[in-house]
Amino acid sequence: MKPIRQQTGMGLVEMMVALAIAMFLTLGLATFFYNMSQTAKNVQGLPGTNQGLSGLQNSERMAMIFIGNAVESAGFYNYPASSLNPPLMVRAGMLPASGNFGSGQGVYGTAGTTTGTDTLSLRYYGNGSTIGGCSGSVTNGTLYSDTFQITNNMLTCTENGSTYNLVSGVSGMTVLYGLGTTANAPSTGTQSGLSSVNQYVAANNVTNWNLVKTVQVTLTFTNPLANQPGQPSTVSFAGIFPVMNGI
């Protein structure tokens, strides 16, 4: 009769090896979940991550809404044009020369001495809409003058003497103006003498502000992921807006 072999348990060496492998795997999983958590916070813009990608996108969207609404309203006045009141005459009467604005002029800007320090000024009459303007609302029949610029990493707007902080994290603004020349304007027909945009120039190269047809705005934002490898320190967004009452 064969003797029964005595079973032996796990030795100390095997147990130490198993514990070491388990600790290694646990540490790896913990590091993985921590990195995933930080990435999620950066993307979602949760507290403690400066702003996050979603916060950056929201800031970009809000900044462009404010500027776009003002640009597209530039030159607007509450007056029905008719054969007895040519639009250009009415426009000059409703928007008289004042400050940096000439007669009938709705758009004005300055080119900064350094990149990203441009300013953009627009004026228009309120049309009774519940939204618009730097303050978020406009009054029917009131003449508004809005000036956008960057102050201490903040997009600000000065409207009729009052300054509003609109969007933070903006380090620069560059503005170009779309102009057309008679070189690409038809000589006959209903569009005779009217030209489409064929060049974008800085403010100091605009010779006739009443001929500005579009405005291109580029905003530079601080990148919330700048501390991560391969990420730039800033991110730029651009938008082109038509001047609805441009000639």
* Residue span of the structural domain in which 99 resides: 53-242
Confidence (pLDDT) at 179: 87
Residue 43 falls within a domain, yes or no? no
Residue 163 falls within a domain, yes or no? yes
Confidence (pLDDT) at 227: 79
Residue 40 falls within a domain, yes or no? no
Give me the number of domains the chain comprises.
Answer: 1
Between 127 and 43, residue with greater pLDDT: 127
Cα(149)–Cα(111) distance, integer angstroms: 11
Residue 178 falls within a domain, yes or no? yes
- Choose among 127, 174, 125: nearest CA to 146: 125
**Threshold 0.85, pTM exceeds:** no
Length of the chain: 247
Rounded to an integer, the average pLDDT of 21-34 is: 69
Q: Report the alpha-carbon angle 156-159-165, nearest 5.
A: 25
Residue 9 falls within a domain, yes or no? no
Residue 8 falls within a domain, yes or no? no
137-146 pLDDT, tens digit each: 788 878 899 9
Residue 38 falls within a domain, yes or no? no
Residue 35 falls within a domain, yes or no? no
Residues 6+ apart with CB under 8 A from 18: 10
